[in-house]
Chains A and B, each alone.
Chain A
């Protein structure tokens, strides 16, 4: 149990996917303009990550034992088709939820955070429960980073910023400061 908690907290703040490992930067820069959208995006991401972790564990345990060189190809194909399937399922069962997530779900498949999750999970040899804890932690970390970024950008909208600095450059500098702040969490586990 302590092991699972460690994995969760480590994935969420210490090795935050966006701010420490630079995974999932496209949505981080793209949809962090409004806090509501950012949180929905984070939730959709977490959801896909849970599916990915389950699929990765299944592939690694039952199918890919003798063929590690097929890992990458199988991961990407299986994840893409699963997400497609889940999308159709949600569309059928809950059209409201589909409208909320709809735009983001297909985009998430080509998000490096998802494939990154599968690759890290494999490299570290996580079991099923550990994989799930890792996925939830990573998703929560992404959501946290997105929400923080969106709140800062909502403030910047009304601030007096020089014309040349409006854009990605400034967002990256802010992300750097956030990343700097998150490095403090490394102290949680040093002893």
Chain B
């Protein structure tokens, strides 16, 4: 039913054009709560990516055997199982980061990005496509977390991954690693993107003043398909 979309598109759309955090504003809790240092952001992004890919795979395999009425419960159970696994793995491998992330690892269960992809994609598409979609969306989530936590650690602490990069005379903006900094960073990203989109569509209107039908030019690969 979705044969017309090339497989590459399933992978790539989640990373930028339909980025779960920066475009769809889903999964904001972890994106704001644990991004006070780059290491935490990367760990959270990877944990979510792992859970998303594993549950998309399993749910896509099992989609014919899950009755429609209890599908959400079944999805949550599968996701919760993988989150428990990831939680225990992190505790064994990187206890420091596990401590820093604290309760937010358990809260991956209710990350709407994961449940959303199961409902919108993995439950209707073949296994390979679902894994690609999960990789793309998880990658996009990781990218957003890296963008958030990089800026916050750099400005709030003057470091990146604990290495000082701003020199000894830099006065850290402590507010950036406190909760308000999370809101400000994401808010600024969203404002910049929305301003940029507005500018681009204005420029397009100047170039093709009579174009009325499509708000977005078709991407080259869509034309090929």
Binding site for B on A (CB under 8 A): 19-26, 29, 69, 71-73, 76-77, 80, 110-112, 115-116, 119-120, 123, 163-165, 167-173, 175-177, 179-180, 183
Binds A, one of B39-47, B154-162, B186-194, B207-215: B186-194
| A175 near B183: Cβ-Cβ < 8 Å | yes
Q: Which residues of B contact A20 (CB under 8 A)?
A: 179
Q: CB-defined interface of B156-180 with A at 8 Å, one 1/0 digit per residue?
A: 0000000000000000000100111
Q: How far is the CA of A21 from the CA of B76 in the complex (A)?
A: 23
- In the complex, the answer to whether A112 meets B183 with C-beta atoms within 8 Å is no
Give bound CA distance, A63 to B198, whole Å: 55
Segment among B10-18, B59-67, B78-86, B136-144 that sits at the interface with chain A: B78-86
Partner of B112, one of A26, A123, A164: A26
- Assess whether A167 is in contact with B103, with CB atoms less than 8 Å apart: no
Cβ contacts A to B, 29 pairs, < 8 Å: A19-B179, A22-B33, A23-B107, A29-B25, A29-B28, A69-B84, A69-B88, A72-B80, A72-B83, A72-B87, A73-B77, A73-B81, A76-B76, A76-B77, A76-B110, A110-B110, A112-B107, A119-B103, A123-B103, A164-B191, A165-B194, A169-B189, A169-B194, A171-B187, A172-B186, A172-B190, A176-B184, A176-B187, A180-B180
Inter-chain CA distance A19–B183, complex, in Å, is: 9
Closest residue on chain A to residue B87 by CB atoms: A72
Expressed in whole angstroms, the minimum distance between the Cβ of A171 and any Cβ of chain B is 8
For A169, the chain B residues whose CB sits under 8 A away are 187-191, 193-194
Task: Report how far A167 CA is from B61 CA in the complex, Å.
Answer: 38
Give the residues in chain B near A21, CB-CB below 8 Å: 33, 179
Beyond A22-B32, A123-B103, 19 additional contacts (C-beta under 8 Å) are: A22-B28, A22-B29, A23-B107, A24-B29, A25-B29, A26-B112, A71-B106, A80-B76, A111-B110, A112-B29, A112-B111, A164-B194, A167-B190, A172-B183, A172-B186, A173-B183, A173-B187, A179-B183, A183-B180
Q: Is B73 an interface residue, CB under 8 A from the partner?
A: yes
Cβ contacts under 8 Å, B193 to chain A: 169
Interface of B is mostly: helix
A80 to B109, CA, bound (A): 13
Contacts of B76 in A (CB 8 A): 76-77, 80, 110
Q: Would B77 and A177 count as touching, CB distance under 8 A?
A: no
Give chain B's interface residue range (CB within 8 Å of chain A).
Answer: 35 or more
| B115 located at the interface, meaning its Cβ lies under 8 Å from any Cβ of chain A in the complex | yes
Task: Tell me the residues in window 81-116 of chain B with beta carbons closer than 8 Å to chain A beta carbons.
Answer: 81, 83-84, 87-88, 102-103, 106-107, 109-112, 115
**Which residues in A have their C-beta under 8 angstroms from that of B88?**
69
Contact B178 A183 (CB under 8 A): yes
In the bound complex, what is the Cα–Cα distance between A110 and B107 (angstroms)?
Answer: 10
Q: Which 4 A-B pairs have the closest CB atoms?
A: A176-B183, A172-B187, A169-B190, A169-B191
Chain B residues in 8 Å Cβ range of A119: 103, 106-107
Enumerate chain B residues within 8 angstroms of A115, measured Cβ to Cβ: 106-107, 109-110
B contact residues around A22 at 8 Å (CB) = 28-29, 32-33, 179, 182
Report the minimal beta-carbon distance from B30 to chain A, rounded to whole angstroms.
8
A173 nearest in chain B by CB position: B187
Determine the distance from Cα of A74 to Cα of B77 in the docked complex, in whole angstroms.
Answer: 9
Complex alpha-carbon distance, A13 and B202, angstroms = 44
